[in-house]
Chains A and B, each alone.
Chain A
Amino acid sequence: MRKSEKVTIGVVFGVMLLILGLSVGYATAFSQVLTINGTANVSQRNFVVKFKSATSKNLVTGSSAQVTSDDTVTITAPLTKPGDSETFDIVIENAGSLDAVLDSFVIGEITSDGADAETLQKLKNDVKVETTGFVAKSDLTAGNTVSGTVKVTWDANSTNQYSKDVAANFTVTFNYIEKQ
Chain B
Amino acid sequence: MKKSKQLIIGTLLLFLSLFEVGYALSSSTLNINGTAKISGSLDVQFSDVTTTSNATASLSSDNRILTISNVVLNNPGESATVNFKIRNMGSQDAILNSFTFTGNDDADILITFPSFQEGEVLTGLTGERDNSIVITWNPTSYVAEKTIEFSAVLNYQQQL
Contacts and interface: CB of A to CB of B under 8 A. Distances in A.
B158 A170 contact: no
A79 B35 CA distance: 10
Given A47-B28, A174-B29, A174-B30, A75 B35 contact: yes
Contacts, number: 143
B30 A171 contact: no
Contact of A77 (B29, B31, B35, B160): B35
Nearest to B92: A81
A166 B93 CA distance: 17
Contacts of B27: 47, 103, 175-178
Interface in A139-171: 150, 152, 154, 156-171
A163 B39 CA distance: 9
Interface in B14-47: 25-42
A50 B35 CA distance: 21
A23 to B, nearest CB: 36
B114 to A, nearest CB: 25
Contacts of A80: 39-40, 91-92, 124
Interface residues of B, number: 25
Contacts of B25: 46-47
Interface of B: 25-42, 91-93, 124, 158-160
Interface of A: 46-51, 54, 71-83, 86, 90, 92, 98, 100, 103, 123, 126-127, 129, 150, 152, 154, 156-178
Task: Give the 10 A-B residue pairs with the shortest CB-CB distance, closest first.
Answer: A162-B40, A178-B26, A172-B32, A174-B30, A49-B28, A168-B36, A78-B37, A177-B27, A165-B39, A73-B32
